[in-house]
Amino acid sequence: MSLKKLISNFASYNVWANTTLVTWLKTKPATSWDKEVASSFSSITKTIVHIWDTERFWNCVLKQIPPPPSFRFVEYTGTPIEAMDALVAQSIEIEEYVNSLSEEELADLRFLDTPWVKGELPQYEFIQHVFTHSTYHRGQVVTIGRHAGLEDAPMTDYNFFNMAVDKLAFKNELKVA
């Protein structure tokens, strides 16, 4: 398998997993989204906003454009539904970008300068980081949800996506939505 195919598949997985999680959350009481628990982000909404905010940032790093102000520093004032929809839209935008890249372009260097780390790596490394970061925090959403009484979280494992999801049907559903 080529790097291009692997990264593109992981981009599709990220869209599917975020969409699956958001679709599930939208069937739950809105009060559960803002229940405060001990976690790095203390509610489902705050965690969703963080995932979206981080995907926005990395999308800009990859495209070499200035990122918007982070919700880490500027308070998010939208609704939980708006954040959920924005997360899915951002994931789709990153997937489209990844799919537009050639194998060679995936290896193009991208520079990063943040308060936490500075340096450059091939963009495929940053792309993998985006998806791994989102996976980590999707797990937190499920755990926070359990504390809020949500016991039926959907399966969003990468192997499940690879082995059990009809990817063509999912893509067609996205086009209709």
Does the annotation flag 129 for ligand binding? Answer: no
DSSP code of residue 27: T
Does the annotation flag 147 for ligand binding? Answer: no
A 10 A CB-CB count for 56 gives: 18
Contacts of 32 (CB under 8 A, 6+ apart): 44, 145, 148, 149, 150
Q: What is the CA radius of gyration of the chain?
A: 16
Does the annotation flag 137 for ligand binding? Answer: yes
Q: Give SS3 for 148.
A: coil
Q: Give the span between the Cα atoms of 80 and 125, in whole angstroms.
A: 30
Q: Give the span between the Cα atoms of 67 and 45, in whole angstroms.
A: 21
Annotated binding site: which residue ranges?
50, 133, 137
Annotated binding site for a divalent metal cation: which residue ranges?
50, 133, 137
